[in-house]
Each structure stands twice: as C-alpha cells, then as structure tokens.
Structure 1
Amino acid sequence: MTTIRTIEVSCPLCGSDDAMHLFEAVDRLHGIEGRFRYVRCRSCELVYMNPQVAPESIGHLYPESYAPHADKSQTSRKALMAVRDGLHKIPLVGTELKRWTDARVMAPLFRRLSVGRRLLDVGCGSGAFLAAARAATGCEVQGVDISTHAVRTARMRYGVDVFEGPITEAPLADDSFDAITAWWYLEHIANPNEAVAAMSRLLKEGGTCVLGVPNFDSAFARRFRDRWYHLDCPRHLCIWSPATMRRLLELHGLNVTRIFHDRSPWGLLGSLQYQRYGDNTDPKRRNRIRQSVLLWLLLLPATIVVSLLRRSDIIVVYAQKRTAGTRAGAGRDGRDGPSI
C-alpha cells in the first residue's frame, strides 16, 4: 500500500494563510486511501486542498488508466466514447452537441490558427486535441505533459512533438506561440502562478490563452459538496471559479475576454453516481448512472438552465496577452461570456 504524504501550504493563488474549512473528501473514482481537507482562502476565495499532497506523492494519484492520459483504445475510454457517439446519432441532440462544442467553444480558437501559426497544449495527455487542431487548421502543434505514458501515446499514435515535464521547465522560446491551451490542467497543479507565468512568457503579444477548469461556483458544487464529481479528490489541488481565474490570469498579463459555461450533464450524472452509490469503484455498479443515455437526455434541460445562469460545473476561459498600453482587465466585457 502506497502512503500519500501531505504538507501544509499557503494559498496557491495569493499566499495567504487565512483560510476557512469547507469539508473533507475521499477518492471516489480510484479508491486511493485517505481523507483530504478542502478550504477556502479568506483573502482571494480560492478553494484548495490543505494539507496538500506532497510533490513526491503526486504520481501515485494517477493510475495508467487515468482518462486524460489513456489512449482511446482503453476499455473505459471506449465505453465513454460509445455513449457520446450514441448521443450524436440522436436527431437534434447530435446536431446541438456539435454546435455547442465546435461552433461556440473551439471556433474562436481555431479562427486564430492557420498554416504557420503555432499552438501549445499544456497537460496535453494523449495528444488527441493537438491532432484534431492540426487537422482542422493546419497549424504547428506542440505539447507538454508530465506523464510518460501520455507522452509516449502522443508521440506514437499522433506524431505530436511533446516535452515530458512541467511547463516551467520546457525548453521553449519566449513569445513563440500564437495560442496556448490547458484543458483540465490548472486544478491538478500546486504552483498555478508559476505555470501561468510560463504560459504568458511563451505566448506572443496579443496571443490567445484558453483554459478549461471545473467551477466551484457552480450550482452542483454547492449541492453535492464532497460528492461533487468534478472535485476529483485528491487529484484536484485547486478548485477555480470565474473570479479566481480572472485574478490569476490578470496577475500574469492576460486579460479575460470571455467565459463559456458548459451545458453538458456529464458532471451531474457523475455527482448523482456518487450520491447514490458513494463512489464509482465497484465493478458491479461502475458508471451505472454516469453513462446512462436516458438520464443524460432527461437532465439536459436542467443543465442548460444552469449554464444560462452562469453556474455550470465546467467553464472555459479565453484570455489575451496584453499588448503595450493595454490596461489590466481590459477584456471585451467585464462579465462572464456566453454559455456553451
């Protein structure tokens, strides 16, 4: 049995030591032993784990089958893809899914990419997103990931150039990328300021940064608390919100231009799985609720309403690197952007 060591930390965003206890949580996805405490900083309101998993124990939190690192040939990954493909075949539902994800979320990014332009994906996992972006736009792509298994998959399956290691150590030239993405990455790291500073440094002036994160200000995070699917304890060290994301990005020369709110019921289904069964580790009931197409369709109207109220489980934040003379916070508007 592997022992997960933890250490007391200051707020990863503002450095304050003044935080209030929220709840304790356990690993409901992979069953790693231990109870982990989450707190909210009284200064900047970031929610984070404290005590936090020590750096030398981080690798023990991620089995080889962990979804973002796994190849799509993995059995669990294939099951999820089958559910998604089934939804896409349903009249109107499939059309709407594609419109939300492609037209609303990816189109603003892909419009900025073309042959000769460069895209970096931080925490790129298996490289599937980079391969799709390259096929759609003709841009040059590069990735960064700390997982040896994920890096090997990205290189062998997709032919993507990936640096194995943290973004802070990547041997990449300053001001060399037109766009940088980080999908479901910031919540996993203990040093968000260092990581975003590195992204800002690598991004060209006026370049675009796109970050997808779970949203602790969501309606379902408040309802399910330690059984909220996107808490993903103990892998998620920091749980962001629109306000804390805006603060983090502006600290490093990036102005938020829009924030998309997800409409998908996937996270709600996962939370209901935890609420009903306690976890998702028992093979006899694994994903019984989470992969239900019928429940997905029944819950979709509710999650659409939640997204319109700007209280979705997932947000995608667009930001632009400030040019000379641009003030901090001078995005397109001062509010959350459209829902996905």
Structure 2
Amino acid sequence: MNGKAKIDRDRSAASVTKDSSSPACPIKGCTDTTWYADAHDIEYYTSDRTYSFYKCQKCNILFIVPMLWDRLGEIYPKNYHTYVPAKKGVAPRQRSLDRRLLKVLATIPGDQLSVLDIGGGNGWTLDQVKSCSPRVSFTQCVDLDEGAQAQAVARGHAYHLGRIEQFETDRRFDLVLALGLIEHVRDPALVLRSIEQLLTDHGRVLIMTPNFDALDARLFRHRSWVGYHTPRHFVLFNRESFTDLAQQSGLGIVSFSYTRAPSYWSLSVLGLMRRLGLVEISAQRPAWYHPLHPILRSSFSAFELARTPFARLSHMVFTLGRR
C-alpha cells in the first residue's frame, strides 16, 4: 500500500471511529460535533501523542481533544518562544502593535486610563501601552506565570497571579488586551463574560486570535497546521464564529481586520520538511529556533502582504466594546 493510500485509509478510519463518540463542544455543550483533523506537536515535540480537532457545526469552532488545561507545565516547555528574551528582528512586530495601540487608545475618552493585559507575562506589552499615551495611569497584568511576576511588578504594573475568571477587583478598565489568549483557554465564553464585567462603559477590548478559515489552515489541515499550535491552542474561531460568541457575551464588534501571520506558513512548512526527512527538529531544537525559520518567514511575509487586500489571512484582530 503506497503512502497516500495509507494516509487516506487512516483518515477515513479515524473519521468513522471519532464520529461515533464525538465530544461535546466547549462553547455550548453541543453534541453536533465531527472529527476535523489529527495533529501533533511539530514545534516543540512535548510528546509523540496524537491530538484530534473536532468541529462544532452549530458554533462553527474547532476544539482539541484531549484538552490539557490542567497540564500546562507539560505542554509549555521552558524554551517556549514567548519565554525567551526577544532578540533582533522583533522591531516590525513592535511597530505594528504600537500602531494598533495608538489607534484604539485614540477612541477612548478620559484623562486617566486603566489598562488590563490578560496573559501579559512580564509586562512588556503594558510598557508599550504606557509609551503610547501619557493618559495611561494604571496598568494591571493577569497571568499564570509566577516567574514573570517580579519583572512585571518591577516595571510598575500591578500583577494578579491566576486566571482572569478568578480575578476580583473594584476597578474597571478602559482598555483590556487579550493578544493571543482566547485560543489558549478551555472556556472562551466565560473569559469574554469576565472581560465584559471588567470594562468601563466606553472601554475597548483588543483581541488577536488565529483564523482557521485561512488558506494555510486549509492546505495544512491534515499536516499539523501550526495554527493548531498543538496541543496549546484549545479553541479556534473564524470571523463569524468569534463575532457570534462576543455578541453572546455582551460585547459588540467596533472594528475588525485580518492580519498576517507568516510564521504559521514557515513553521508548517518546516514541519512538513521534517516529515520528509529534510530537516531535523526536536524538543532540544524546536522549529521556532531552526535557522530556516526566519528565511521562510520573510518569504511568506511578502506573500501574505500581496494577499492582504482581498484574502482571509491567518490572524484576526477584533476591537470590542460593551453592547
């Protein structure tokens, strides 16, 4: 049996097996869910385990099974890319973030603004917010990383060690940041409701999250697309499904845009190259640090830039407000 025939046979068998006992959707507990794809950790190789992604036909979301929300220490290794100090080459991303922050801050009235960053780590993004506007007078970080707490506090940010659902305060925030967060939580609806309750009447929420309806997501659907970020992304949306969930949580869409994620292309290609025996990637040498990664990322950045005016790109940016 040739390789393609074996893949097709295994995929068909997996579909039949998984559809017979489909898990419930994490958004509403829907039972109308079907197997979508199998995937492995092709970035950090935290295990050889196969994970399955299911699609809820009603909520139009993807979710991972099993969802290891209680084993974060295993699935986030010490060399995880956001834990490693930034090196040269991050300036374009910083400028892009600064532009977004300036734009959203300009829409918020008030002489003194309070800003909350969920999953803010050591407070780097909050530093950017403060540099963007002298009106920012209070900054709060909520994160699970105990090691980042001292750094954030030293930078002048209040810090809550724990989940946003457990964060209790009388303060209300003019801007809430959830950048690359909502896909990492097991109950996105609860997180959005928690955010809505912490928001001032004129406040804004800035959210960035992957789009499973992008071209690279379709091409690498059965090749461990890096947008799955297996097993660290728990729930994935497209524009329509996230809009619906935000509105159900009491939040309205103020603005929306697609944005480029060339690393999704480059890391997905590296995963395919490893599968073909062309490159070596392992837990000791993750894909994020492979020397081909920045070269491929630059190439795909140009490709994504050319598609920007008309394509559904790999990342989505939502600005939300209370309804």
Bin of the TM-score, shorter chain as denominator length: 0.7 to 0.9
**Distance in 1 between residues matched to 2:211 and 2:318, nearest whole Å:** 11
Residue 264 of structure 1, CA deviation: 4.7
After TM superposition, give the deviation of residue 100 of structure 1 in Å. 4.8
For 1:297 and 1:63, locate their aligned partners in 2 and report how far apart those are by CA, in whole Å: 26
Q: Is the 8 A contact 1:114 1:137 kept in 2?
A: no
Q: Does 2:259 match 1:276?
A: no
Deviation, structure 1 residue 259 = 1.5
Answer yes or no: is 1:36 the counterpart of 2:51: yes
User: Does structure 2 retain, via aligned residues, the 8 Å contact 1:14–1:43?
Assistant: no
Structure 2: gaps spanning 5 or more residues:
1-21
Name the aligned partner's letter for residue 63 of structure 2: Y
1:231 to 214, 218, 228: 228
> Aligned pair in 2 of structure 1 residues 160, 113: CA closer, same or farther (>3 Å)?
farther
- What residue identity is the alignment partner of 1:20? T
Identity of aligned residues (%): 21
- The separation in 2 between residues aligned to 1:101 and 1:135, in whole angstroms, is 12
- Structure 1 residues 28 and 109, CA, compared in 2 at 3 Å: closer, same or farther? same
The amino acid across from 1:26 in the alignment is H
Residue by residue over 1:39-64, the C-alpha shift from the partner in whole angstroms, topping out at 9 and shown as x without a partner, is 100111110012322x4323321123
Using structure 1 for the length normalisation, give the TM-score: 0.78
Match of 1:117 in 2: 113
Structure 2 CA distance for aligned equivalents of residues 206 and 269 of structure 1: 39
Contact map agreement 2:41 2:224 (CA 8 A) in 1: no
Aligned to 2:189, which of 179, 193, 203? Answer: 193
Q: Which residue of 2 aligns with 1:84?
A: 90
CA distance 1:198–1:42, shift in 2 (3 Å): same
Q: 1:306 to 1:12 in 2, by over 3 A?
A: farther
Structure 1 partner of 2:9: none
TM-score (norm 2): 0.82
Offset of residue 9 of structure 1: 5.1
Written as runs of structure 1 = structure 2, the 5 A alignment for 1:245-264 is 245-264=242-261
Deviation at 1:284, TM superposition (A): 9.4
CA positional deviation for 1:21:
0.6
- Residue 71 of structure 1: CA displacement? 5.3
**1:220 alignment partner, SS class:** helix
Query: Separation in 1 of the partners of 2:80 and 2:96?
Result: 26
Kindly state the Cα deviation for residue 115 of structure 1 after the two structures are TM-superposed. Answer: 4.9
Q: Which residue of 1 aligns with 2:125?
A: 129
Superposition pairs of residues 1-340 of structure 1, within 5 angstroms: 10-33=24-47, 34-53=49-68, 55-68=69-82, 70=83, 72=85, 77-78=86-87, 82-85=88-91, 100-103=96-99, 105-111=100-106, 112=108, 115-138=111-134, 139=136, 140-156=138-154, 158-173=155-170, 176-225=172-221, 226-278=223-275, 280-281=281-282, 283=285, 286-292=289-295, 295-322=296-323
Over 3 Å counting, the alpha-carbon distance change for 1:284 and 1:109 in structure 2 is closer
Q: CA deviation at 1:299?
A: 2.9
Amino acid at match of 1:220: D
Distance, in Å, in 2 between the alignment partners of 1:182 and 1:65 is 22
Relative distance call for 1:194 and 1:234 in structure 2 (3 A) is: same
CA contact (8 A) 2:117 2:176 kept: yes
Distance 1:145 1:297, change over 3 A: closer
The answer to whether the 8 A contact 2:196-2:251 is kept is yes
Distance 1:312 1:67 in 2: 22
Q: Distance in 2 between matches of 1:280 and 1:14?
A: 38
Give the conservation status (yes or no) of the 8 Å contact 1:119–1:180. Answer: yes
After superposing the two structures, state which structure 1 stretch, 280-289 or 308-317, moved more.
280-289
Aligned length: 291
Range moving further from structure 2, 255-264 or 313-322: 255-264
Cα 1:48–1:116 change in 2 (3 A) is: same
Alpha carbons 1:147, 1:164 under 8 Å: kept: yes
Q: Tell me the SS of whatever aligns to 1:56.
A: coil
Distance (Å, rounded) in 1 between the aligned partners of 2:142 and 2:194: 12
For the Cα contact (< 8 Å) 2:46–2:77, is it kept in 1?
A: no
